[in-house]
Structure 1
Amino acid sequence: MQTPDSWVVLKIAAETGVIYKVLAGWSGGYLDGDSWRLNSGINIVFERKDQVDFYGNSGSLYVCKKGTYGLGMGTSGIYNDIVSRFGDKVEMMPEDTDWRNLL
């Protein structure tokens, strides 16, 4: 189970159709640097009162708190790199997305 400090959902237009992925970030401490992950693709979503649970194609679970949606220091650079490589094939979903009806 992954519980990121910040997260966004990316909508990616692939040749096989639309894929949604979680771009998640964690803030490092004094001895650790920031880290990030891009999940394998969302296949199940459970929206709860204060969090959204995203299950990935690989079996991973991202438990994302609703108040932490957005790009962090580490993930903003990663997002910009993804957009520069793939252009308009990548879109960040808005925070007020109805996650229950994402798929």
Structure 2
Amino acid sequence: MIEAKKAGETVERAEAPAEPTGVVDLMEALRASVERAGSPKAIGGKATASGKGVEKKQGAKKRIRSAPKEDLSGLSKADLYRKAAAVDIPGRSHMTRDDLVKALSASRK
């Protein structure tokens, strides 16, 4: 700066850095977290040719499911009871709605 002033150039004063307030920008922290989580390096994988995702291991087999699992949480207790009767779940008449959901879920595994 001194040399520039001696040469007759104008020198502008730099702004002082902002004082830390202790307040964290939550949206910026969330963005950074999402970027780290989405990064192939963050999950220990290799980037694909397109630069997105993680490469699949060679020889990996696809998991084939016989039928998609039905969402039982939206059914009424009466509907759950009918399904439990169809698969012959014992003790179903004394079960709560949540018990029926658990029993039907377990019977499908």
TM tier, shorter chain?
A: under 0.3
Q: Of Structure 1 and Structure 2, which has the larger fraction of its residues in strand?
A: 1
Q: Of Structure 1 and Structure 2, which has the larger fraction of its residues in helix?
A: 2
| Structure of higher CA gyration radius | 2
Could you tell me the TM-score, scaled by structure 2's length? Answer: 0.19
Instruction: Work out which structure has the larger RCO, using CA pairs closer than 8 Å and 6 or more positions apart in sequence.
Output: 1
